Amino acid sequence: MTYRIVHKTTYKYKVPVSVGNHIACLTPRNLPHQSCTSHELLVTPAPSGLSERLDYFGNFVTLFTIREPHDELRIEARSRVVIDDFPAVWPEHSPPWEEVARTLRADRSPQGLEAYEFVFESPRVKPGAEFAEYASPCFSAGRPLTEALLDLTGRIYRDFRYDSKATNVRTPPEEVLRHRRGVCQDFAHLQVACLRSLGLPARYVSGYLRTYPPPGRARLVGADASHAWVSFYCPGAGWLDVDPTNNLVPFQSHVTLSWGRDYGDVSPVRGVIQGGRDHKVEVGVDMEMEPD
């Protein structure tokens, strides 16, 4: 499966911005099942300086500065991504979830240490008793980790309503849990909070989801979307993904862009500007499958 992805972001400022320093996290990762074969980032106005690097989590980020006055900033990322047809291999049997939480604290292997970093609080996800209580029906004593995780994924899907007007980019998981509605970012943060509250490592994954039009309807350009889901660590199998918004295991319709502790680590574009005052943001994603 080969996708051509165009991700457009436009900032329209009420008053001109004199200087802007920005970080774009818009380059898809290379993974065992996914290859980014080409990528380019187009910025208008043209940056006076631009550099690229890997961040702490291994995500490819682009840093750029615009020093001329501007009342509009356009960022367009164009990527070509190949997804193989081999799904992630889930273990036939996984250890009890309590055993994973207990043994990980003493695991000094590189994989164990990396995973253990994702047990702790992060700026947008604070573990707490309310999350452990919500997850507890799925995590009964001695239940295998993968089985419990899939159960929790399904429970979030059933209990919460997708509502794009109910939350914003800074809505905390505690509020999402109370009101039982939100968007993919909220459901991913919620599941991460539940897992960390049980002492289990979980990371936030940012990417794209291929959408399909109703039968007989043409696919609309820009109808595909930025998406978010969850990755959890299973000893012996590594990191495995689940999508609580859709109650499924990501496969060929998901393209991984980046991952981190929460949305703040992987927001597609962030930065600091001088001027601008109020602004509006327009985002559109077109994810087109190449013909065979």
CATH of the domain at 58: 2.60.40.2250
Cα–Cα distance measured from residue 107 to residue 117, given in angstroms and rounded to the nearest whole number: 12
Q: Count of residues for the chain?
A: 292
Q: Which residue has the tokens 């996800």?
A: 125
| Residues 210, 108 within the same domain | yes
CB 77 within 8 A of CB 41: yes
Give the mean pLDDT of 69-98.
92
Give the mean pLDDT of 260-269.
97
Which residue type occupies 78?
Answer: R
Number of domains in the chain: 2
Cα–Cα distance measured from residue 229 to residue 226, given in angstroms and rounded to the nearest whole number: 11
Q: Which residue has the tokens 């980790």?
A: 145
Cα–Cα distance measured from residue 292 to residue 283, given in angstroms and rounded to the nearest whole number: 29
- Asked if the structure places residue 89 within a domain, the reply is no
| Residues 232, 115 within the same domain | yes
- Asked if the structure places residue 206 within a domain, the reply is yes
Phi, psi of 153 (to 5 degrees): -60, -45
- Asked if the structure places residue 118 within a domain, the reply is yes
Q: Which residue has the tokens 């550099």?
A: 51
| Residues 200, 236 within the same domain | yes
| Residues 277, 255 within the same domain | no
Angle at alpha carbon of residue 180, lines to 269 and 144, rounded to 5° = 90
What is the token pair recorded at 256? 């991984």
Q: How confident is the model at residue 278 (pLDDT cuts 50, 70, 90)?
A: confident
| Residues 157, 186 within the same domain | yes
Give the mean pLDDT of 146-161.
97
* Domain, as residue range, for 280: 2-84+267-289
Cα–Cα distance measured from residue 25 to residue 258, given in angstroms and rounded to the nearest whole number: 7
Give the mean pLDDT of 209-224.
69
Residue 203's DSSP bridge partners are 231
What pairing do the DSSP bridges indicate for beta strands 181-182 and 161-162? parallel
Spatial CB neighbours of 48, under 8 Å, sequence gap ≥ 6: 65, 66, 67, 68
For residue range 10-48, list pLDDT tens digits in order.
999 999 999 999 999 999 999 999 999 999 999 999 999
| Residues 142, 228 within the same domain | yes
| Residues 37, 101 within the same domain | no
Percent of the chain beyond pLDDT 90? Answer: 84
- Asked if the structure places residue 31 within a domain, the reply is yes
| Residues 181, 284 within the same domain | no
Cα–Cα distance measured from residue 147 to residue 270, given in angstroms and rounded to the nearest whole number: 37
Cα–Cα distance measured from residue 206 to residue 228, given in angstroms and rounded to the nearest whole number: 5
- Asked if the structure places residue 29 within a domain, the reply is yes
| Residues 188, 161 within the same domain | yes
Average pLDDT across the chain, whole number: 93
| Residues 241, 279 within the same domain | no
Give the mean pLDDT of 161-186.
95
| Residues 122, 45 within the same domain | no
Give the mean pLDDT of 210-226.
69
Q: How confident is the model at residue 211 (pLDDT cuts 50, 70, 90)?
A: confident
Strand, coil or helix: 154: helix
- For residue 119, what is the DSSP state? G
- Asked if the structure places residue 169 within a domain, the reply is yes
- For residue 45, what is the DSSP state? S
For residue range 93-104, list pLDDT tens digits in order.
999 999 999 999
Cα–Cα distance measured from residue 138 to residue 2, given in angstroms and rounded to the nearest whole number: 36
